[in-house]
Amino acid sequence: MKIEQIYTGCLAQGAYYIVSENEAVIIDPLRETKPYIDRLEKDEVKLKYIFETHFHADFVSGHLDLSKKTGAPIVYGPTAEPEFDAIIAEDNQIFKVGKIAIKVLHTPGHTMESSTFLLIDETGKETAVFSGDTLFLGDVGRPDLAQKSAHMTQEELAGLLYESLQNKIMPLADDIVVYPAHGAGSACGKNMQKETVDTLGNQKKTNYALNQPDKESFVREVLDGLSAPPKYFGMNVALNKGGYETFENVLEKGKRPIALEDFEEVAEDTGALILDTRNAADFHKGFVPRSINIGLKGDFAPWVGAMIVDVHQPILLVSDLGTEEEVITRLSRVGFDNVLGYLEGGFDSWQNSAKEIDVIHRISAEEFAKKFNESSKVIDVRKETEYDAEHVNDAFRRPLADINEWAVSLDNEEHFFIHCAGGYRSMIAASILNSRGIRNFTEIEGGFNKIKETEVPKSNFVCQSKTL
């Protein structure tokens, strides 16, 4: 038997490849299928099943394309209602794979169809659980994503999750290995550990959610501090449940070079958003006017999903040469399939022409320290927890994820400084504000990580009742 965790850091997502004798299963595959098919061919095994722990919200699964290419059926847990052919397993149903078996444990709460897959090895020993979004390391799945479809409140779903954990997971042996669907950085939980594999026994000791004295406490603690889910989550669920265009077609359409002289016309004719995926250090020096910067070298796909509301939005790319396929692939993982093409020759072709170029005013933390005084207006776009730990005195706490709400209250006549932790998120914010005609700001290179090294006064006192 072989178990391989295929972990994609930029999505904080774990897929699983399991082999026994000449048969294999894949759990929660990503959109692009080639890596899985390459493994199957290398091991000379047949894919027997594709298991889906639930209808994923944070990424588009590769279940449909993989099933078409291999003939392997897709398996969901009880109550799932996909709009395509699939096996809807019963609770405790067992699937044989080579000399091992996989038992379906229905564990609703994160979503109603959520299931955990229990692996039973060649000797009949219960060895591992593939817990999906039911149980993470250090946390459990957020119970607020299935409210509309389940016709239940998040409190009711949290209560259901409590019962699932107590009745299906906690009774299992401590030496069972836990393989979750996500790790730290995913928006599917709030308190996940950086590790991606652990024993169930250790989770019973260290996971706050598994150490609540009763259901009422569990519900309260699990729901406490939950931020609103990213807006693209619902659209990803619909794609996973209803179907999507093949990845190969998406890639072929997106990898279309668009000549410099045609780029603006295509943008205007289609209403496309110009997405610049270069790093912030290059972007701020010059970019196509009205471009949005979300750097590829960062949490690219999740921030695209958080910032671009509609997965059907037409997109034109400006990217570093040679990265176009990676950009399109990572966009497709979160359902953004409508890439129309990319600027041929990259930004250099634009810069070398006579076309207009825009810039973002950026200064170092040392320069900021020299300019800072009691009347300086500072906007901190980090998460609330980061801000609460320490921030510039009197800085406004305005998380990037909420920019559409707070940007409308900005005073266009008053200058402000803007920063995040390291410069990635603040450049996203800066590009969005700039595209909306808000230019009276200065972005701080290196963010709070560099500001901490200066004499700028800081505190952890939270007082954010004042308006922008």
Sequence-ordered list of residues with C-beta below 8 angstroms from that of 126, at least 6 positions apart, any chain: 118, 119, 120, 172, 173, 176
CATH code for the domain of 260: 3.40.250.10
For the question of whether the overall pTM of this predicted structure is more than 0.75, the answer is: yes
357 domain-assigned: no
74 domain-assigned: yes
464 domain-assigned: no
240 domain-assigned: no
Phi then psi dihedrals of residue 189, to 5 deg: -150, 180
- Report the domain count for the chain: 3
**In the listed set 235, 268, 284, which residue is the last one of a domain according to the structure?**
235
**In the listed set 235, 258, 273, which residue is the last one of a domain according to the structure?**
235
390 and 344 inside one domain: no
Low-confidence residues in the chain, pLDDT < 50: 465
223 and 74 inside one domain: yes
Sequence-ordered list of residues with C-beta below 8 angstroms from that of 168, at least 6 positions apart, any chain: 105, 106, 107, 116
- Write out 421-448 in H/E/C secondary structure: CCCHHHHHHHHHHHHCCCCCEEEECCHH
- Reported as a single tens digit per residue, the pLDDT across 38-77 is 999 999 999 999 999 999 999 999 999 999 999 999 999 9
Question: Residue 144 and residue 167: Cα distance in Å, rounded?
Answer: 21
Residue 432: domain span: 362-459
**In the listed set 297, 329, 351, which residue is the last one of a domain according to the structure?**
351
384 and 301 inside one domain: no
pLDDT the model gives residue 149: 63
pLDDT the model gives residue 465: 45
SS3 at position 355: coil
465 domain-assigned: no
184 and 325 inside one domain: no
286 and 379 inside one domain: no
Strands 458-459 and 100-106, bridge-based pairing: unpaired
162 and 63 inside one domain: yes
220 and 256 inside one domain: no
466 domain-assigned: no
Answer for the pair 379, 430: CB distance below 8 angstroms, yes or no: no
261 and 371 inside one domain: no
Phi then psi dihedrals of residue 441, to 5 deg: -140, 165
136 and 268 inside one domain: no
249 and 231 inside one domain: no
468 domain-assigned: no
167 and 214 inside one domain: yes
164 and 223 inside one domain: yes
pLDDT the model gives residue 23: 98
How is the beta sheet containing 378-380 ordered, strand by strand? 362-363, 441-444, 416-419, 378-380, 396-397
